[in-house]
Amino acid sequence: MLRKIVLPLQLFLLLALLAGCSGDNAIQDSYELATLPPEPTSTSAPTEIPTGADGVGATFYKAWETGDYIGMYSLLSPQSQALIDGPAFAQRYQEAIQVAAVQRVTTKPLSSRQLDDRVQMAVRVTWESGVLGEIVRDHEVELVFSGGRWG
């Protein structure tokens, strides 16, 4: 007699269980769509334009050390800026640094000599490359006074 009750009871429970698991009531993950705040962007401080020729030259090369190519461009004379735009100037410097696998740039002003509205400046530039080792070059640059400023 117990068997007569247990078997139908088991079938009933099995059918009830299967009925509960079927249908469109599938279990769904609950989630909340959250908007994250934007990550902070690192923007370099604008390169301050000094007034003297030596200061402009030194600032140009210090900007090179920090990778501030747009800052370097801002220090060029108006005549030099007319020859190339800022993004193209920056791209040329970035490509040179990438091709040579430069890890660090250091500069050292060597001398300067003023003749009227022109200054000749000598600077030693050292690239520390992971591939080529240390590359040292002495540069001679001419700064001109034009448009009310040195560049």
Domains of the chain (ranges, CATH numbers): 53-150 (3.10.450.100)
The percent of residues in the chain predicted with pLDDT above 70, rounded, is 66
Supply the DSSP string of 104-128, one letter for each residue. EEEEEEEEEEEETTEEEEEEEEEEE
State yes or no: pLDDT of 70 exceeds 70: yes
Burial 4-29 (b: 16+ CB within 10 A, else e): eeeeeeeeeeeeeeeeeeeeeeeeee
Please tell me the predicted confidence (pLDDT) of residue 31. Answer: 55
Please tell me the predicted confidence (pLDDT) of residue 12. Answer: 57
Mean per-residue pLDDT over the chain, rounded: 80
The percent of residues in the chain predicted with pLDDT above 90, rounded, is 52
Q: What is the mean pLDDT of residues 112-128?
A: 93
State yes or no: pLDDT of 25 exceeds 70: no
Task: Tell me the pLDDT band of 90, cut-offs 50, 70 and 90.
Answer: very high
State yes or no: pLDDT of 45 exceeds 70: no
State yes or no: pLDDT of 41 exceeds 80: no
